[in-house]
Homo-oligomer: A and B are copies of this chain.
């Protein structure tokens, strides 16, 4: 089986965006043992897209398209392929209903253009869009399979993972089932993780074990095949048990979990309220938590104490602590945590202070971070020495804060139970 990825979009050819979809799809297909011989990028131009399709049909069995499914006249992937294959477009009722509800909720008028997003090839398997309006398609004709996916990665990735991948697997694997499962780690580097799992990785057959690092997080994707999904899942569970046995303390979740999502779940399950006092991160910790809908059930709010006067006058940090230990110290982070916990009357108080860079701050070199957590009469603090640029350090500080909170809450939960 040979596949080719065709990304459609003039913004790629103008260098306005980078083709991360090709990387995502490539790694997913490689996992399934499908060979990719070419990536092609072509602009929003019907003639040139047609040429690209004809070239790809000569050299691949599966053609994956990304982009060009939107409502504007630039979005011509669907129409062009339909014309090329001599297929008619029909309205998909589910997709149309989803689009209509989207506009109704927002009290905005739906234009004819938006309705056209619900048009699909007659006879195609419609791929549900979990994060947007345009549905995708899986369509077979003669020797070729055509898979149409939307351009935005947050739409393309879940659509591929949950909608397209099982269909491809079924086709490629002679009806054996494929099952894929991601374990998510924080607080351990990729090299360290691979060393601890070296023998498992060397012996991998079914499931395959694929570690991947990005943005300070490491994931391991386990992919197994079996006569049934249950059989594949059993093979995964066996290897997962051994992985958890060795490096379980760094595991924060699975599959679509994210650090703020897990924190929200754990806080709500334990019926805890949280507030934060942020200096170096200047609100980013709270803003990151608030990316998750419903966070208001547990996140009360906090103080951005960017300035030293605010730390003392509004937050109430003891000026003696700052004089003796500086604003970048375990003592200051812990006092920030205790003071926000008391002021905002929450179960948990968080304090984050540090030198984001590029300059030193509070007598500490760029990359030094202190995280304080006040919880149940105790105060904990954690030191980081980060080596990134200013804004990478700020994001890492936020992620480490969530990581330490999860570790604390997990221990607390175990003691309670």
Contact = CB atoms under 8 A, between A and B. Distances in A.
Nearest to A398: B287
Nearest to A191: B72
B16 A27 contact: yes
Interface string A281-298: 111111101110101100
A30 B12 CA distance: 11
A344 B40 contact: no
B18 A20 contact: yes
A359 B267 CA distance: 21
A301 to B, nearest CB: 4
Interface string A8-23: 0000111111111011
A38 interface: yes
A367 B38 CA distance: 41
Contact of A301 (B26, B314, B343): B314
Contacts of A300: 306-307, 309-310
B343 A314 contact: yes
A131 interface: yes
B52 A38 contact: yes
A210 to B, nearest CB: 8
A108 interface: yes
Given A27-B14, A52-B38, A287-B281, A293 B387 contact: no
A147 interface: no
B310 A283 contact: no
A301 B303 contact: yes
Contacts of A391: 291
A41 interface: yes
A281 B30 CA distance: 37
Overall SS of chain A's interface? mixed
Nearest to A18: B23
Interface in A5-57: 12-20, 22-30, 36-43, 45, 48, 51-52, 55
A30 B59 CA distance: 30
Given A16-B27, A281-B287, A390-B291, A48 B41 contact: no
A48 B300 CA distance: 54
A356 B290 CA distance: 10
A120 interface: no
Q: Taking each of A40, A287, A291, which has the highest tally of chain B beta carbons within 10 Å of its own beta carbon?
A: A287
28 contacts: A12-B22, A12-B23, A12-B39, A13-B30, A13-B38, A14-B212, A15-B24, A15-B27, A15-B30, A16-B212, A18-B19, A19-B23, A19-B39, A37-B48, A38-B40, A38-B41, A40-B41, A282-B287, A282-B299, A283-B283, A283-B285, A283-B286, A283-B287, A293-B357, A300-B309, A300-B310, A301-B304, A301-B305
Interface of A: 12-20, 22-30, 36-43, 45, 48, 51-52, 55, 59, 105-108, 131, 212, 214, 276, 278, 281-287, 289-291, 293, 295-296, 299-307, 309-310, 314, 343-344, 356-359, 365-367, 387, 389-391, 394
Given A14-B26, A283-B283, 13 more contacts: A14-B27, A18-B20, A39-B39, A276-B304, A282-B299, A283-B285, A283-B302, A286-B306, A290-B306, A290-B356, A301-B310, A301-B314, A304-B304
